Amino acid sequence: MLYLDNSATTSIHPEVRKIICDVLEKHFGNPSSLHKKGVEAEKLLNKSREIVAQSLQVNPQEIIFTSGGTEGDNLAVKGVALQYHKRGRHIITSQIEHPAVKESCRQLEELGFEVTYLGVDKYGFIAPEDLLQSIRPDTILVSIMHVNNEVGSIQPIAKIGDFLKKHHKIFFHVDAVQGFAKVPLKVKEWGIDLLTISGHKIHGPKGVGALYVKDGIKIVPLLAGGGQEAGIRSGTENVPGIVGLAKSCQIAREIFVGNSKKMLDLRKQCISMIKDKLPEAIINGPECGEVSPYILNLSVPRLKGEVLVHALEKEGIYVSTGSACSSKKNITSPVLDAMGIDQETKLGSIRVSFTYETSLEDIKMFVNNLVKIVGQLINKR
Amino acid sequence: MYDHILIRYGELSLKGKNQKSFVRQLVRNIQDKIKNYNGEKVFLDIEKGRIYLKLNGQAPEKFYEPLSKVFGIFSFSPARKVQLKIEAIQKVALEELNSLQVQPRTFRSTVRRPNKRFPVTSPEAQKLIGSYILKNTENLQVDLHHPDVEIFVEIRDDAAYIYTNKIQGLGGLPLGTGGKAVLLLSGGIDSPVAGWLTMKRGIIVEALHFYSYPYTSERAKEKVLDLARILTQYTDQINVHIVPFTKIQEAISANCYESLWITIMRRFMFRIAEKIAEKRKALALVTGESLGQVASQTVESMYAINHVIHTPVIRPLVTMDKEEIMDLARRIQTYDISIRPYEDCCTVFLPKEPKTKPKIEVCEKEEAKLDIDNLVDDAVKNTEIIKIKAKEKDAFGYF
């Protein structure tokens, strides 16, 4: 089996799995309980918060544990909008955001907010100047993703953050689910106010993530209840998941950061192999430059992405069309739409996503199989 | 590029003959502090009132945080070492100026020349450096009184050191030069601040916590350990003595006048603390008491409570306002831990109307109903010592 769908989700790292099992077994207490069992769980929670904070280079009290990326995005976007709606009701985001951000914005539109959805160029980059021009006196929130989940483009977060430093009343949320631990991120330096991460994209468990909320920013909770997570996210904490998230953050530093050069090289080699052996293939998104080493999106003309996915699956290679969240619906990807890619290319797009373990052999195997499959499929027509 | 950090120890220079041992302790403390930062060994220059940290190619910034947690350091500066030639000094002074992130509009140079064999006097050197810089820059002027940047040049025996940035240290005296004291650490806002201020004067502190389980919870204990953990940023280890106090509190509340509970309780605390201090070879107690803050902190109460022991009691906060104490607590980052809402031993057996002017005779009469020696010895005997280390592995072994 060759799993190349690591942007959808990753396998759980053995060390993380072991620790989660251990916590499930031994430390089942409720962190809010007064007794020893509770204190134990609370300690684990606090330690995990420290570790996650360290990996983002922020303060522990700025970390809110969530159920994952979708909740983090929802909480950030709606939480800020509802808290600060008296200041203004305008939000800026982009057309290539994850649905968790976009749909949250749509919900806010129903409530009377106005949303500007910034477009992107043909490589999937938003222009900071566009953003600057969209700012209005009643803008309260800018939400831009760090790494696009479908084509891997890295958005100019530092530059946007820099622009926004002049606008003290605008909050800046970054969906860092795809980029966190995999590409450089400087939360404080870049002036980020809120930032979403998720466990299962970095070989951690599913159902857990974190939202960074800069000290001093208030947000309206989406879940009312017992006041856990500083009142922002009620509900008994998912202690094993949270410990697993923290462990995966800790491991990620070793497995991803040290690997980024190797991965960039691999991605480059993959592209040149494809161009060499399958000249008709089209790379969607950036070929090099500001791009995640872990994501590659490509189309083969006249072939549907879905067909390619299944044909590769037969060979034991797992990739996806567009993003997993939208691949079940028979519509083209809004990200590729926004990039102005033609209909045929859009329908033919597949996303290959790597991880730290991906080797040159894996890449060769993928390309060779792709070439073989394309040959077979085209001949059958 | 900066190749040294120049460390000043201010007040220590006044300490006459003891100075040598003070500086040696300070050097040891600095070495302890930076050993996890791959720092090169620091070497010392006693008579000149400076310690130099040789960077060996490392960035100076990573030492700022550890150095700003060492008591006894007055200030420090990332510096460039230059050979003792005026031309070389001029050149490096210009380099220093050009390396600044924000380019100044005005500057001055300030030269100190403890090495009197250096042929150029300080005022002459200042002129030479200033004119060299003026010649080699544009849009820069000299302002002797309010310059944007002051270039400091220290001409020492072996070399000159050039710097512009002076970073404040904590001041105080090197930890370990002042003996040892026992800190009564309740978990409130005051006692950790009192402990920190005592440490700042060079005194090693062991903490003592009176634990009234089940009237107070595991979390109250955790809170105290977390407070001690904050204090370990300034030392490498703090011993926390957890004294079982439930029996004594129950005995007091069952037998004594309610209005004297607190006074008698504190008398017991002092007796126990003195015993433990003796065992640990500590020569003083430290409390977070501040005059008039609560009933037990009036002069009359202090008198009645202090009466049961001979060991001196250091009260660093005694004349401070609550606001001042809170500010300090925030600065040393104990505040957020202190305000966690768990009961401590002082709040559990709280009389409705505590005496603000307790009389010693009445206290003694009331205490006569109790087996004081046994209660005290028992508590001391069953005290648990928890060692809190600066760099602690997590207890579960997961990370």
CB spacing of A27 vs B396 below 8 angstroms: yes
Look at residue B122 in the predicted model and tell me its pLDDT.
95
Q: How confident is the model at residue B58 (pLDDT cuts 50, 70, 90)?
A: confident
- A24 near B CB under 8 A: no
CB spacing of A39 vs B218 below 8 angstroms: yes
Instruction: Find which of A28, A39, A52 to mutate to test the B interface (most B CBs within 10 Å of its CB).
Output: A39
Shortest CA gap A40–chain B (Å): 9
Rounded-to-integer distance, Cα A249 and Cα A242, Å: 10
Question: What are the CA-CA distances from residue B31 to residues A365, B4, B53, B71, B168 (Å)?
Answer: 54, 15, 10, 13, 19
Residues of A in contact with B219 (CB under 8 A): 34, 39, 42
CB spacing of B218 vs A22 below 8 angstroms: no
Instruction: Locate all alpha helices (DSSP H) within B184-321, ordered by sequence.
Output: 190-200, 218-231, 246-255, 261-279, 299-306
Look at residue B33 in the predicted model and tell me its pLDDT.
85
pLDDT digits (tens, 9 = 90+) for B269-325: 999 999 999 999 999 999 999 998 888 899 999 999 999 999 999 999 999 999 999
What mean pLDDT value characterizes chain B? 91
Residues of B in contact with A59 (CB under 8 A): none
For B394, the closest of A23, A35, A47 (CB atoms) is A47
Look at residue B11 in the predicted model and tell me its pLDDT.
65
Cis amide leading into B214 (omega within 30):
yes
Residues of A in contact with B217 (CB under 8 A): 34-35, 39
**Nearest Cα to Cα of residue B256 among B367, B371, B374:** B367
CB spacing of B398 vs A39 below 8 angstroms: no
Q: Is it the case that residue B102 has pLDDT exceeding 90? A: no
Residues 214-253 on B with a CB inside 8 Å of A are 217-219, 222
pLDDT digits (tens, 9 = 90+) for A229-265: 999 999 999 999 999 999 999 999 888 877 888 999 9
Rounded-to-integer distance, Cα B200 and Cα B11, Å: 12
**Nearest Cα to Cα of residue A192 among A228, A146, A225:** A146
Phi/psi at B316 (nearest 5 deg)?
-65, -20
Residues of A in contact with B394 (CB under 8 A): 47
Rg (CA), chain B: 27
- A49 near B CB under 8 A: no
CB spacing of B398 vs A47 below 8 angstroms: yes
Look at residue A250 in the predicted model and tell me its pLDDT.
94
Instruction: Find which of A30, A32, A43 to mutate to test the B interface (most B CBs within 10 Å of its CB).
Output: A43
pLDDT digits (tens, 9 = 90+) for A108-157: 999 999 999 999 999 999 999 999 999 999 999 999 999 999 999 999 99
Q: Is it the case that residue A327 has pLDDT exceeding 60? A: no
Pairing mode, if any, of strands B75-82 and B4-8? antiparallel
Residues of B in contact with A27 (CB under 8 A): 396
Pairing mode, if any, of strands B237-244 and B284-286? unpaired
Share of chain A above pLDDT 70, in %: 97
According to DSSP, the residues that pair with A152 across neighbouring strands are: none
Q: Is A21 a catalytic residue?
A: no
Q: Is it the case that residue A323 has pLDDT exceeding 60? A: no
Rounded-to-integer distance, Cα A166 and Cα A163, Å: 6
| Residues A105, A115 contacting (CB under 8 angstroms) | yes
**Domain spans in chain B, listed from the N-terminal domain onward:** 4-168, 180-389
Q: Is it the case that residue B43 has pLDDT exceeding 90? A: no
Per residue in B19-53, is it b (16+ CB within 10 Å) or e — as a string? beebbebbbebbebbbeeeebeebebeeeeebbbb
Topology of the domain covering B180-389? Rossmann fold (3.40.50)
Residue B203 DSSP label:
-
- B166 near A CB under 8 A: no
Tell me the CATH number for domain B4-168: 3.30.2130.30
CB spacing of A47 vs B218 below 8 angstroms: no
Q: Is it the case that residue B74 has pLDDT exceeding 80? A: yes
User: CA torsion, points B337, B342, B348, B353, in degrees to nearest 10?
Assistant: 70
- How many pairs of residues across A and B have Cβ atoms under 8 Å apart? 31
Q: Is it the case that residue A322 has pLDDT exceeding 80? A: no
- A247 near B CB under 8 A: yes
CB spacing of A43 vs B395 below 8 angstroms: yes
| Residues B166, B65 contacting (CB under 8 angstroms) | no
Look at residue B350 in the predicted model and tell me its pLDDT.
83
Q: Is it the case that residue A339 has pLDDT exceeding 70? A: yes
Look at residue B44 in the predicted model and tell me its pLDDT.
62
Q: What are the structural domains of chain A?
A: 2-9+258-380 (3.90.1150.10), 14-255 (3.40.640.10)
Q: How confident is the model at residue B46 (pLDDT cuts 50, 70, 90)?
A: low
Share of chain B above pLDDT 90, in %: 71
Residues of A in contact with B395 (CB under 8 A): 43
Rounded-to-integer distance, Cα A218 and Cα B215, Å: 35
Closest-CA residue of A relative to B392 is A47
- B47 near A CB under 8 A: no
Look at residue B276 in the predicted model and tell me its pLDDT.
98
Instruction: Find which of B219, B229, B337, B399 to mutate to test the A interface (most A CBs within 10 Å of its CB).
Output: B399
CB spacing of B217 vs A19 below 8 angstroms: no
